[in-house]
Structure 1
Amino acid sequence: MINKKNTSLVLLIGACNMAWADEKPEAQERSSRELALPDTTVYAEQASLTVPSTARAIANIQRIPGAVEVVADTAFKDGPSQTIKDVLGWVPGVFAQPRFGDDARVSIRGSGLSRNYGNRGINVYMDGVSINTSDGLVDLFEVDPTAYRYVEVFKGANALRYGGNSLGGAINFVTPTGRDASLFDGRIDAGSFGYLRSQASTGGAQGQFDYFITGSAQSFDGYRDHSDGKQQRLSSNFGYQFSEDVETRFYVNANKIKQRLPGEVTKYSALHSPRTADSEFERLDQQRNIDSVRVANKTTLRFDSTTLEFGVFGVHRQVKHPIYQWLDYDVNDYGGFVRATDELKIGDYRNQLITGINLHNGKIDNKQYENQTNAVKGELLASNIDESKNASAYAQNSFYIRPNIALIAGMQFQHSVRDRQDRFQSDGDQSGRRSYDNFSPKVGVLWDVDPTWQVFSNISRSAEVPSYDANTFTSASSSDLDAQTATTYEIGTRGQREDTNWDLALYRAQIKNELQCLTTAPWSPCSVVNADKTVHQGVEAGFGAAFLKSAVASGDSVWFNAAYTYNDFFFDNDSRYGDNELPGVPQHYLRAEVLYKHPSGFYLGPNTEWVPKSYYADNDNQEKVDPYTLWNLKIGYDDLASGWSGYLEGRNIFDTRYISSTAIAGTATEDSALYNPGVGRALYAGVRLNW
């Protein structure tokens, strides 16, 4: 459990210590997984049944025999947090890179590598409620980076509880409740390129009722021309405890997003005039404007040895999206879930059984018009009703053959339907329907070497169904696009000592029918195809260590933190591309920092982001993205007693010109417009009051 401020490790040690302090000497041979059981005597600080505290979330997630992580809010609330990279950028295996404004591209273990818009291959949740559209596509504009208590990252099929049906896995953003929130928490951030952001929250509890509300507003001119934007976001939840074993919670989220799009440019333009937008994007005044409202309920019932959770949700999203055409979408998603966790012994052996069902359905009423120029809507060019239905059932059993060794077996069955009704048939009937059925088993082993050190291994399968933007129905017949499937082998370890922590995973995913979205022409969407066989394999390593303790003042320390990802992705004897490297992601990616911490709350230190080797932008391996090194520096003060904190942070302080992300093509040339320039030198500052 590595993050840049090591908070999750401190909480885990605290959780384990809380449990061990109450144990009799003969019980101290129990494993740390047993200490992670949802037991109110262990987690006396846990006031909400529906939302685990950070410490409990860490202990629970570490019962999974694979690469997972909880990122506490203290790891990302000491900076500007403009994009999701500011939240997840220190998680090994996650490649999160800004494209423009507050838009970012996120890939886990090579998921959705080829996307030049939106994200695919990751299931994203807010408080356990999906923000993906029901066909699987997800934009991250609705993620408010500083609204959350913690973020859970489940890599690959380790996301079984959310439906381990994607190569990348799942990310769950968890907001505070009134039982662990401050009465007031407010902040204001400002920085380069017109960046201005404010946020305030309040929460509290009165008897059986509690509430939490947070709102934020931000605006920016953007580093590049035609990349300005404005966002307003609201998140709230309201809980009621009927008893110590029954709690229900209601959620309301609302977002208003306006973002101009500068577009991808050629490599020469990205490196020599990085602030310039694509002229066609400017002529059409391309934009992405989203208004959304999400409501949900989650209820938890706790019995003697069983915990039952269930909930429902509904989302309405209106998308006004003038790009190469003028897209006008109304999106309505709805669904529900039920999950049961049973902690019963089988003879003298501990056993945990988790079962659940997830439903996620939706309808997209989409119309596409001519974009005449300057985002002026012209004549109707296409009109469809797209319906998606997804149902998955899963089960996972952990049987402890020894107090500290668990054998784990799980499975998931997913049924998905994609149905398109073409209402504009002057260009041919593009109606169609296709269903997908996928079975995904998993086996693993988890060994608690001691209460703060684990070794794990697993073999799992995942399946991923095409989204509607794949243009899957070109005639009355069904699509010839197949679901992407993968078998992943994984082994790793995680743990901590008083002044060190580590997180290491090695994996190999053998993929069939990888969904690639290839850019075929400028200013138009990519075209989705199935690759034949591909391999994604790599290393995910995080490490933290304290040294020079009390060197300057009593109680001070210097922390070294690093997150390294090795990506070895390639075609496997493909008929066209042979064994070429898969494009879109660097082979080596390292983030590291040295941070001095004074007991008064003062901290100071540099950090770096390093891509030491070029990587390809096309399947033919003709065009490359150059390596780069970025240097950053931050200084801050966090006075826990008064609640005041502030920071000053310089990013890319040497104004390095680099490419932050790329779309991909089958074949590219030096004139291909595939690249998003990285942000130049920037300075940010912020102040926060929490009481």
Structure 2
Amino acid sequence: MTNQFRLSALTVACLYAAAFTPLVYADDSATISDTTPTTKNNSIQTLPSIVITATPSITSTLTVPNTAQAIANIQRIPGAVEVVPDIVFKAGPAQTIKDVLGWVPGVFAQSRFGDDARVSIRGSGLSRNYGNRGINMSMDGIPINTSDGLVDLFEIDPTAYRYVEVFKGANAMRYGANSLGGAINYVTPTGHNASRFDGRVDAGSFGYIKAQASTGAVNGPYDYFITGSGQQFDGYREHSDGDQQRLSGNVGYQFSPDAETRFYLNANRIRQHLPGEVTKDAALNNPESADPYFVLVDQQRNIDSVRLANKTTMRFGPTTVDFGVFGVRRHVMHPIYQWLDYTVLDRGGFVRAVDDRLIKGFRNELVTGLNLHNGTIDNKQYENLPGAVKGELAASNVDKSENASAYIENSFYLQPDLALIAGTQFLHAERKRTDRFLSNGNQSGSRDFDLWSPKVGVLWDINPDWQVFGNISRSAEIPTFDANSFTSPASTNVDAQTATTYEMGTRGKLANLSWEASIYQAQLKKELQCITTSPYSLCSVVNADRTVHQGIEAALNMPVLDSLMKQGDRLWCNLAYTYNDFFFDGDSTYGDNELPGVPPHFIRAELLYKHPGGFYAGPNTEWVPKGYFADNANQVMVDHYTLLNLKAGYEAANANWSAYVEGRNLSDKRYIANVAIAGTADATAALFNPGAGRAVYSGVRFKW
């Protein structure tokens, strides 16, 4: 019996058991105590939350919905969206974005090294292997992306959040997001739903250790929450060690039951060495090695950042208005092929109004808003000498981005359970570069973009616990500054990527079975591709002609056996499946080749035993049953793989402590986690990032 067969059998066993299990209600050890608004007789009623379960949330605030309310709000969107509660990612070693989003179908998240990871939703930023593009990311609504659209993931601290909102595709108008990937918003607790003390320590393989603590409370009209964490690791690969310190907090003041303001602070210190991509042979046969040149010049990515923001919410009868401002300062010290030293200064504001009322007996919800996000990047590049020593100045410029988006969306309920939704977003963006280093020619330039993104959809509550939806939407994405570099006509003329997406799906629960499923097709024009030509320089960004991204996203959660050893215990089955069918559509160079960079099938499956006393244990697997290509020419392929993991822990509802132990890749499988993308590659191309080997982690958490 092959290793692949043994591990994939876990998926089959989970499905087989599910097919023959009597239906009972969903996991009673992890339900939401809040209720979800829906519509009956053209008025707002309540029903048990569907699809996602979570630990009970306490009092909400005007400025920050609790977990249950966030789920209720997001399920008014006629598209694939999800709220990930903290129980999903805090019961284990939450180090990277994969630990947060790894069970969300449609999201392909893979660690590169250390804290860095690559994330793609529906093929967004598919060819990008440094930084991320095509997804608007926010912390408490404060953009993490720089104003030109590029985003790093080093500043995300999974142990800091109450829940995470995922808006796939053009379902994220409220965040000014109309890109192919959509938006992700990480939401921290407030004093209303935080413990007076919550602390944890995690440790494990490759020198990993992390400590985190938080506190929060309410005092009359005031509340506060603050959390801090520090971690360090040697890394699985040579020259992939790092350390991070992160701080987040907020203070709220309630003027009245209908008016509240909240101030946010987020600060980060990131230090990370970079091992670089290697050949496929090196990745599979010597996976702990780094690229020797990366070690010689001591490539690193170091970040110091501070974010400040305010959000105020006011309620006027059926109308709620949110408005706020934010500012970000990020200093990046980044010795790579050159010694990049740049300072990002971003600022912006937003206003959003939601009016939910009856019009001639019919419910109508109107959402309008405006987002501003402007910024400058003061960039200096030096020669990078061995040992990460700054050499002579090689480039100096100031990049300026201005973005203004306005949106409107209306949901009209033809019946209490049937809504028609229509909306649009307009984005005006400007990109301007001022070159201050003229010895190699003046590379100044500017571009303007004006883009409309309309959307229509339908949302039908078949019954109080079951929804179906469909939509047609247009998305657009503007090139980042490393694409519009203005160094040549080719780079200056990189255009915006646009897509028209057709989507339909369902989410709900039926007795014990909870599910979500969607099918979509996105027809892209001028897809932005980040083509690697050398491992020692930035990629070259080009527009493809026509491409298609289509697929299926599905998740299933249900108990398969009850009362195995004790009354009330259960064996749970969790499944997440993503099908990616991405290809060129009659391209003049690549014909109908597959788009590289992501596997066609990505499956995660888990069987988890839960004892009513708080003990849980079980295996899970990550399965890529078919390989995928690393280049547009489809000449070099990443092999299929399966990983076997096992976890056990204790977390009782009435206990003030919890603990876990988790083993990952227990068979020590050598595999490729992700790749850089080339136009045409061969076996000698250094495009590959090996996945981590066998690892064991454990942690303990106290709260009261």
Task: Write the letter of the residue equivalent to 2:327.
Answer: G
CA contact (8 A) 2:129 2:675 kept: yes
1:289 aligns with 2:302: yes
Structure 1: distance between partners of 2:45 and 2:220: 33
Residue 384 of structure 1, aligned match among 393, 397, 400: 397
1:334 aligns with 2:347: yes
Structure 2: distance between partners of 1:81 and 1:672: 32
Task: Write the letter of the residue equivalent to 1:565.
Answer: T
Q: Cα distance, 1:478 vs. partner?
A: 8.7
CA contact (8 A) 1:32 1:451 kept: no
| Structure 2 spans left out of the alignment, 5+ residues | 1-25, 50-55
**Compared with structure 1, are the counterparts of its residues 478 and 655 closer, same or farther at alpha carbon in structure 2 (3 Å cutoff)?**
closer
Residue in 1 aligned with 2:35?
A: 15
Q: Cα distance, 1:643 vs. partner?
A: 1.1
Residue 146 of structure 1, aligned match among 159, 162, 165: 159
Residue in 1 aligned with 2:292?
A: 279
Structure 1: distance between partners of 2:679 and 2:28: 42
For 1:181-580, what aligned pairs fall within 5 Å after superposition?
181-474=194-487, 479-580=492-593
Residue in 2 aligned with 1:81?
A: 94
CA contact (8 A) 1:31 1:403 kept: no
1:57 aligned counterpart, secondary structure: helix
Residue in 2 aligned with 1:40?
A: none
Cα deviation per residue 1:62-84 (whole Å; 9 max; x = unaligned)?
00000000000011100001110
Task: Write the letter of the residue equivalent to 1:310.
Answer: F
CA contact (8 A) 2:615 2:650 kept: yes
1:635 aligns with 2:648: yes
Residue 675 of structure 2, aligned match among 651, 662, 681: 662
Residue 115 of structure 1, aligned match among 114, 124, 128: 128
CA contact (8 A) 1:429 1:475 kept: no
Higher deviation after alignment, 680-689 or 338-347: 338-347
Structure 1: distance between partners of 2:249 and 2:511: 37
Q: CA RMSD in A?
A: 2.0
1:468 aligned counterpart, secondary structure: coil
Alignment TM-score, normalising by the size of structure 2: 0.93
Residue 71 of structure 2, aligned match among 58, 68, 78: 58
CA contact (8 A) 1:502 1:543 kept: yes
Structure 2: distance between partners of 1:86 and 1:45: 25
1:522 aligned counterpart, secondary structure: coil
Q: Cα distance, 1:8 vs. partner?
A: 12
2:529 aligned counterpart, secondary structure: strand
Structure 1: distance between partners of 2:139 and 2:27: 21
1:165 aligns with 2:178: yes
Task: Write the letter of the residue equivalent to 2:525.
Answer: K
**Compared with structure 1, are the counterparts of its residues 185 and 327 closer, same or farther at alpha carbon in structure 2 (3 Å cutoff)?**
same
Task: Write the letter of the residue equivalent to 2:587.
Answer: D
Structure 1: distance between partners of 2:593 and 2:499: 19
Q: Cα distance, 1:625 vs. partner?
A: 0.1
Alignment TM-score, normalising by the size of structure 1: 0.95
| Structure 1 spans left out of the alignment, 5+ residues | 1-5, 37-42
Cα deviation per residue 1:239-292 (whole Å; 9 max; x = unaligned)?
000001100000000000000000000000000000000000000100000000
Q: Cα distance, 1:549 vs. partner?
A: 1.2
**Compared with structure 1, are the counterparts of its residues 312 and 29 closer, same or farther at alpha carbon in structure 2 (3 Å cutoff)?**
closer
CA contact (8 A) 1:114 1:518 kept: yes
1:681 aligns with 2:694: yes
Structure 2: distance between partners of 1:548 and 1:454: 27
Structure 1: distance between partners of 2:130 and 2:311: 32
**Compared with structure 1, are the counterparts of its residues 478 and 531 closer, same or farther at alpha carbon in structure 2 (3 Å cutoff)?**
closer
Task: Write the letter of the residue equivalent to 2:512.
Answer: D
**Compared with structure 1, are the counterparts of its residues 13 and 562 closer, same or farther at alpha carbon in structure 2 (3 Å cutoff)?**
farther
**Compared with structure 1, are the counterparts of its residues 248 and 254 closer, same or farther at alpha carbon in structure 2 (3 Å cutoff)?**
same
Q: Cα distance, 1:522 vs. partner?
A: 2.4
Q: Cα distance, 1:477 vs. partner?
A: 10
Q: Cα distance, 1:102 vs. partner?
A: 1.1
Q: Give the share of equivalent positions with the same residue, in percent.
A: 67
CA contact (8 A) 2:283 2:671 kept: yes
Q: Cα distance, 1:28 vs. partner?
A: 7.9
Task: Write the letter of the residue equivalent to 2:412.
Answer: F
Task: Write the letter of the residue equivalent to 1:101.
Answer: G
Task: Write the letter of the residue equivalent to 1:563.
Answer: A
1:600 aligns with 2:604: no
Task: Write the letter of the residue equivalent to 2:146.
Answer: T
CA contact (8 A) 1:185 1:200 kept: yes
Q: Cα distance, 1:7 vs. partner?
A: 7.8
2:482 aligned counterpart, secondary structure: helix
Q: Cα distance, 1:52 vs. partner?
A: 0.1
Task: Write the letter of the residue equivalent to 1:258.
Answer: R
Higher deviation after alignment, 380-389 or 463-472: 463-472
Structure 2: distance between partners of 1:321 and 1:607: 37
Q: How many residues align?
A: 674
1:574 aligned counterpart, secondary structure: coil
Q: Cα distance, 1:470 vs. partner?
A: 1.3
CA contact (8 A) 1:431 1:475 kept: no
**Compared with structure 1, are the counterparts of its residues 10 and 495 closer, same or farther at alpha carbon in structure 2 (3 Å cutoff)?**
farther
Task: Write the letter of the residue equivalent to 1:639.
Answer: A
Task: Write the letter of the residue equivalent to 1:15.
Answer: T
Structure 1: distance between partners of 2:27 and 2:499: 34
CA contact (8 A) 1:71 1:150 kept: yes
**Compared with structure 1, are the counterparts of its residues 599 and 30 closer, same or farther at alpha carbon in structure 2 (3 Å cutoff)?**
farther
**Compared with structure 1, are the counterparts of its residues 370 and 170 closer, same or farther at alpha carbon in structure 2 (3 Å cutoff)?**
same
**Compared with structure 1, are the counterparts of its residues 187 and 478 closer, same or farther at alpha carbon in structure 2 (3 Å cutoff)?**
closer
Q: Cα distance, 1:171 vs. partner?
A: 0.1
Task: Write the letter of the residue equivalent to 2:334.
Answer: H
2:487 aligned counterpart, secondary structure: coil
Q: Cα distance, 1:533 vs. partner?
A: 0.3
**Compared with structure 1, are the counterparts of its residues 613 and 478 closer, same or farther at alpha carbon in structure 2 (3 Å cutoff)?**
closer
Structure 2: distance between partners of 1:518 and 1:30: 53
Q: Cα distance, 1:44 vs. partner?
A: 11
For 1:579-590, what aligned pairs fall within 5 Å after superposition?
579-590=592-603
CA contact (8 A) 1:70 1:150 kept: yes
Structure 1: distance between partners of 2:450 and 2:29: 40
1:523 aligned counterpart, secondary structure: coil
Structure 2: distance between partners of 1:633 and 1:146: 21
1:67 aligns with 2:87: no
1:155 aligns with 2:168: yes
Task: Write the letter of the residue equivalent to 1:114.
Answer: S
For 1:92-103, what aligned pairs fall within 5 Å after superposition?
92-103=105-116
Structure 2: distance between partners of 1:52 and 1:632: 34
Residue in 1 aligned with 2:20?
A: none
CA contact (8 A) 2:57 2:68 kept: no
Q: Cα distance, 1:639 vs. partner?
A: 2.7
Q: Cα distance, 1:47 vs. partner?
A: 3.4
